[in-house]
Amino acid sequence: MPKMLAEFLEYLETKECNHPHDVHLPCIKIVVVINCPYCQGMPIKFGKTGTRQRYRCIACKRVFMNTYINKACCASINNHIVNFLKEGCGIRSIARLLSISINTVISRIKSIANSVIRPIIANGRIYEMDELRTYIKNKDNDCWVIYALDKQTGQVVDMKVGKRNKMNLKRITDTLLLAKCNQVYTDGLTIYKHLLPYAIHKVRRYGTNRIERKNLSLRTHLKRLNRKTICYSKSATMLEACLKIYFWLPGQPM
């Protein structure tokens, strides 16, 4: 296209045009290539919705359109939800920013969380374990986010939402023991002495610095965990879904 335009301009400079009809414009055919927004495959036409053309991908068999009236149908809407969720926006804030319904945001967060794959835990590493306090529905209903992370990489390896009791703590400690951990740093909670062997259990000053800093990041980045705010979790399922996205799903391109 630029080469043809340059040749045409050069033609105009060299030719003496006494009349507008002396100039013959070249016919340029513009071809728009459409790729599948889900897998970047080659689509084919697949009927119409009103006057708007529908397409079907040959590879993944998904149907899509170039433009949508309902913004929730856009392929990039899930990426926007993930990014806004991890940057401190609440459910209603995301709905306002994307011009979609609150129920759509909630259902999409749950479906995205169900597709998140937990990371593979490496053997023979050093871990930190801690609990973060929050509440469900009202402040009398305490709920704890119990999780462990790799001391070297900072990757969260396992997580549990619920009461701070022996059963929920044991689920995380069992995961670390199966990974043949070298050391586990915790706070001074007494129950850890009964769940972790004395040889690998460490309670030291500054031993849980990294996970305590992670707690601060959680309070900052997740609106439902902020202090002195009207935002809170109404269900443990939704809290766990948001934590899965925050811990194990990287930021998505907008």
- Name the domain count of the chain: 3
Per-residue pLDDT tens digits for 141-182: 999 999 999 999 999 999 999 999 999 999 999 999 999 999
Residue 1 has a pLDDT of 47
Question: Which structural domain, as residue segments, surrounds residue 83?
Answer: 71-117
Supply the DSSP string of 90-128, one letter for each residue. Answer: -HHHHHHHHT--HHHHHHHHHHHHHTPPPPPPPSS-EEE
Residue 180 lies in a domain: yes
Rounded to whole angstroms, the Cα distance separating 49 from 174 reads 54
Residue 252 lies inside a defined structural domain of this protein: no
- Which regions in the chain score pLDDT beneath 70? 1-32, 252-254
Is 248 among the domain residues? no
Does the pTM exceed 0.85? no
103 plus 148 within the same structural domain: no
> 146 Cβ partners below 8 Å, 6+ apart?
129, 130, 131, 132, 159, 160, 161, 162, 164, 168, 169, 172
pLDDT at residue 74, rounded to an integer: 81
Q: Does 61 share its domain with 99? A: no
Length of the chain: 254
User: Can you tell me the distance from the alpha carbon of 201 to that of 231, in angstroms, rounded to the nearest whole number?
Assistant: 36
Assigned domain for 100 exists: yes
Look up residue 126 and give its amino acid.
I
Residue 129: beta bridge partners?
Answer: 148
Q: Are residues 88 and 58 in the same domain?
A: no
Which CATH number belongs to the domain containing residue 158 in this structure? 3.30.420.10
Q: Which of 33, 51, 67 is the last residue of a domain?
A: 67
